[in-house]
Amino acid sequence: MNKRKNVVGNSWRMDETYIKVAGKDRYLYRAVDKQGNTVDFLLTKRRMKGSAQKFLNKAIGNNGKPRLINIDKSGANTQAIRIVNQYSLTFKKIRIRRVKYLNNIVEQDHRTIKRRIAITTGFKEFESAQRTLAGIEIINIIRKNQIVNPRRSWFATFKSLAA
């Protein structure tokens, strides 16, 4: 999917939300760009600096380095961005901005995930939660027209990704 996805903007909004898996909180890290296009997502077992850094490295590896990341007051996200800046080989550093209302884009985007999860009975295993959430995220990416093929319907696009 990442090979066929359109290029995202260089101003990201990054946040995490919790998902219940086997009665325990697990954290879904997500990032969207300024226009609301999905950058990347990652489900982790813990909410800490290592998890945030793993997500950030995955997002940068798939989409390139952003100019700016807007976050809430999460210390884990701040530390992850600082570590990426510290070990960056280029002089271009990622700017950190903590403006709460600018993260409303990603907070509203969490709604689609939470709504689909509320319909189901929940997740019993972490791996099944990862697979299901990946499918939901891919459907949202197709719905947002981030994988554009004017000759194909949404279902045909999903089917071609699954093949």
In whole angstroms, what is the distance from residue 151 CA to residue 153 CA? Answer: 7
Residue 112: which pLDDT band, with cuts at 50, 70 and 90? confident
Using a cut of 0.85, tell me whether the model's pTM lies above it: no
Q: How far is CA 70 from CA 11, 22, 57, 98, 105, in A?
A: 8, 31, 16, 6, 11
**How confident is the model at residue 54, as a pLDDT?**
94
Mean pLDDT on 1-7 = 70
Q: How far is CA 102 from CA 71, 75, 77, in A?
A: 9, 18, 16
Q: Does pLDDT of 147 surpass 90?
A: no
Considering only residues 127 and 88, tell me which one the structure prediction assigns the higher pLDDT: 127
Q: List the domains of the chain with CATH numbers.
A: 11-152 (3.30.420.10)
> Mind listing the pLDDT tens digit for each residue in 99-111?
888 888 888 888 8
In whole angstroms, what is the distance from residue 137 CA to residue 28 CA? Answer: 11
> Mind listing the pLDDT tens digit for each residue in 12-47?
999 998 888 888 989 999 999 998 888 999 999 988
Between 75-86 and 49-63, two packed helices, what is the crossing angle to 10 degrees? Answer: 50
Length of the chain: 163
**How confident is the model at residue 148, as a pLDDT?**
67
> Mind listing the pLDDT tens digit for each residue in 37-82?
889 999 999 888 999 999 999 999 989 899 999 998 888 899 999 9
In whole angstroms, what is the distance from residue 108 CA to residue 110 CA? Answer: 5
Alpha-carbon Rg for the chain in angstroms = 16
Q: How far is CA 123 from CA 14, 27, 46, in A?
A: 24, 13, 16
**How confident is the model at residue 103, as a pLDDT?**
82
Q: Give the list of residues 6+ apart from residue 93 with CB closer than 8 angstroms, or none.
A: 85
Residue 149: which pLDDT band, with cuts at 50, 70 and 90? low
Mean pLDDT on 124-144 = 87
In whole angstroms, what is the distance from residue 69 CA to residue 146 CA? Answer: 20
CA angle 11-89-78, nearest 5°?
45
> Within a 10 A sphere around the Cβ of 76, how many other Cβ atoms?
20
